[in-house]
Amino acid sequence: MHFSWKRWRPALTAALAAIALSVTFAGPALAAEPGEWGNWTGEHVGSQALAARGTLGEARSGQGTLLQVWRGETNNIVWLSLNTGNAFQLTNPDGSSTATYFSPTVVPYGSNSFMVFHTGTDNRIYYAQVNADGSWSGSWTAVGWGQATNMAVSVTQVGVNSSQLYMVYHSANDDSVYGTYYNGYYWGAGQR
């Protein structure tokens, strides 16, 4: 078999050009959109840097109040911040902290409140109402009907300024996905 350089020359030239371009232009990418800065600024709550394990959840009420929620970087506590103010937690009536292995979720509730959700270490789904002034319902309540998950939940407000919510979650027992509706007072049974 005879090897022909003429046949392989275009492919070799293209490969060398690709290597040269990748080496020439290698470096940090600037992911800015037009009109935005080309760098990132760290998130702060109060005077300290926000440090989270997992993702940061945010919701803005109909009145413009911002509530941020996250799982502590060095603990399993659900932390909150109103309008990027000092971080705080919602302790249980007995004074104990929340405990979760997953990022919490927050959604607007009504016109000037929020609902915060987290999956407890017992796989139950807990929620609490937080008002724009930082006051809250006073306890974490488990979603009923035996609804449980071993992951974070997704929740949305059903209509602007509504007290109705819809939640979707992965079953704690199998690979089913469930949805459940909150009418402003009670949770419905999970539907596959």
Structure tokens at 21: 């371009």
User: Is 65 within the bounds of a domain?
Assistant: yes
Instruction: Report the CATH number that the domain containing residue 154 is assigned in CATH.
Output: 2.120.10.10
User: Is 51 within the bounds of a domain?
Assistant: yes
User: Is 11 within the bounds of a domain?
Assistant: no
Query: By residue range, what is the domain housing residue 156?
Result: 44-182
Which three-class secondary structure state does DSSP give residue 159?
A: coil
pLDDT in tens, 68-83: 999 999 999 999 999 9
Residues 86, 99: Cα–Cα separation, whole Å: 20
User: Is 10 within the bounds of a domain?
Assistant: no
User: Is 26 within the bounds of a domain?
Assistant: no
**Sign of the CA dihedral with 25 first, then 30, 33, and 37 last:** negative
**Banded pLDDT at 2 (limits 50, 70, 90):** low
pTM exceeds 0.85, yes or no: no
Question: How many domains are there within the chain?
Answer: 1
User: Is 2 within the bounds of a domain?
Assistant: no
pLDDT in tens, 8-41: 666 666 666 666 555 544 444 445 566 666 777 8
Residues 118, 90: Cα–Cα separation, whole Å: 12
DSSP secondary structure letter of residue 76: S
